[in-house]
Amino acid sequence: MSRDTYQRRLEALRDDVLEMSDLVCERLRRALEAYETGDEALAAEVIEGDHEINDLYLELEGECIELIALQQPVAGDLRVIASSFKILTDLERIGDLAVNLAEYAREQDRNRYPDVDIVHVGTETVLMVEDAMQAYATNDAAETRQIAATDDEIDALCERASRIVVHDLMEADPDDEHLLEDVSRMLLTIRDLERVGDHAVNIAARTLYMVENDDELIY
């Protein structure tokens, strides 16, 4: 493989990673919409479309392996491939979390916790992912550190939401036969959105490593 061909494939890999991120973020937004509106058809669309994300992940994983095997890259090129591979894994897992949210949307009683704004928290986490991918696209090291700082805000939102749910549990009617299911589902929803934020930080961390060979955010 010529050097020019190799560089074109590296550039194509990054474009494909960005394309996958667009797809994942779109699915997450659709899952949030289904959660907000109770649209079961939209929820089903997110769930049934997960195979598309999985197939794309496997295809791009294969491309990363082939680029390493054929060219034996070093230094910067190797960091691009290794970081892209790790980012793909985070994107695939965010896709799984979007499926979880769509499944919760089918069952959750939206009137039980009016003070818990799942859509707001979810939207903030989507923005984190989009910002992290923009940093990846533009090699913006400064933005990666900002994303890590933003995660503290997401964690605080999730902690507040969890406290509301637990407080309501203590004051709820013990004879409510749906109470425990609703509490469990809501806490899982909050946890999964927090995990989306964690994956955004992972993406930022791998981008920082790719750009500056700095593992500061990797933990």
List, in order of start, the domains of the chain with CATH numbers. Answer: 3-212 (1.20.58.220)
| b/e sequence 171-190, b meaning 16+ C-beta within 10 Å | eeeeeeeebeebbebbbebb
CB 48 within 8 A of CB 99: no
Q: How far apart are the C-alpha atoms of 142 and 127, rounded to whole Å?
A: 17
Average pLDDT over residues 148-159: 93
Q: How much is the pLDDT for 122?
A: 96
Residue with the bigger pLDDT between 53 and 68: it is: 53
Q: Which amino acid is at 155?
A: D
pLDDT of 177 above 80: no
212 three-state secondary structure:
helix
- Tokens for 198, please give them: 């964690």
pLDDT of 71 above 90: no
Average pLDDT over residues 210-219: 83
pLDDT of 176 above 70: no
Q: How far apart are the C-alpha atoms of 101 and 147, rounded to whole Å?
A: 23
Average pLDDT over residues 169-174: 70
Average pLDDT over residues 83-92: 97
How does residue 170 score in pLDDT terms, banded at 50, 70 and 90? confident
Q: What is the chain's mean pLDDT, rounded?
A: 91
Q: How much is the pLDDT for 100?
A: 97
Q: Which amino acid is at 215?
A: D
Q: How much is the pLDDT for 148?
A: 86
How does residue 93 score in pLDDT terms, banded at 50, 70 and 90? very high
Compute how many other C-beta atoms are within 10 angstroms of the C-beta atom of residue 145.
17
| b/e sequence 63-77, b meaning 16+ C-beta within 10 Å | bbeebeeebebeeeb
Residue 22: closest CA among 91, 85, 80: 91
How does residue 75 score in pLDDT terms, banded at 50, 70 and 90? confident
